[in-house]
Amino acid sequence: MKHLGKTASLLLVSCFLMISMSATSVWAHSTGDGSPPHSVRGVSCEYLPINGQVVVKAFPPNHATAWSGFSDDVVYWTPILYRWDGSDYVEWFHSPNAIAYAYVHQTGFYQGINPGWRHSTIHGQLQFHPFYNLPSGTYTVLNLIQWHQNGHEHYEWAPNACTI
């Protein structure tokens, strides 16, 4: 029994190390295109038991900051949904307007009034953007991040895809 306990704990530690080393970093980074530090998140496919639908959820960036030279800014986020067609990802849905906005400064999101991401039309906090009524397939998101002060646009793929 004692030997089984050591084996199990070694297996558990090994699994933890493998998962933590392969996990995508949530720390902010610059992309080389001059964009301020930011950190995009992925997508998830979830079953909704209430209505029996499957939804693809796109999550807004974890972190965004103002451009150097600006003390604060407004950042806009639009998730562009892509579907795998067997050989490449093809654009499936692109909203003509930003889905969300956030007030940021040099170190990240404002924490006072209206912290984090806000829905562009109802102005409530936004945890994710759902895509409904989708056919079976594999989906990912191309994140469009726009900075208001200078109009810069940055596109970055989600770090994952999901299948419904």
Q: Is residue 9 part of a domain?
A: no
Q: Is residue 71 part of a domain?
A: yes
* Mean predicted confidence (pLDDT) in 67-77: 86
Which residue, 38, 22, 2, is CA-closest to 154?
38
- Its domain, for residue 139, covers 35-163
**What is the token pair recorded at 154?**
């940055």
Q: What is the CATH number of the domain that holds 151?
A: 2.60.40
**Cβ pair 66, 73 in contact under 8 A:** yes
Q: Is residue 116 part of a domain?
A: yes
Total domains in the fold of the chain: 1
**What is the token pair recorded at 92?**
């499936």
Q: Is residue 136 part of a domain?
A: yes
Q: Is residue 157 part of a domain?
A: yes
Question: Is residue 7 predicted with pLDDT exceeding 50?
Answer: no
* Mean predicted confidence (pLDDT) in 151-156: 91
First-to-final CA distance of the chain: 42
**Residue 55 corresponds to which amino acid?**
V
Alpha-carbon distances, residue 77 vs 21, 49, 64, 119, 124 (angstroms)? 29, 28, 10, 10, 15
Cα(12)–Cα(140) distance, integer angstroms: 31
pLDDT in tens, 34-69: 566 778 999 999 988 878 889 999 999 998 888 877
Handedness of CA 128, 129, 135, 139 (dihedral sign): negative
Q: Is residue 16 part of a domain?
A: no
Q: Is residue 10 part of a domain?
A: no
Q: Is residue 13 part of a domain?
A: no
pLDDT band of residue 6 (cuts 50, 70, 90) is low
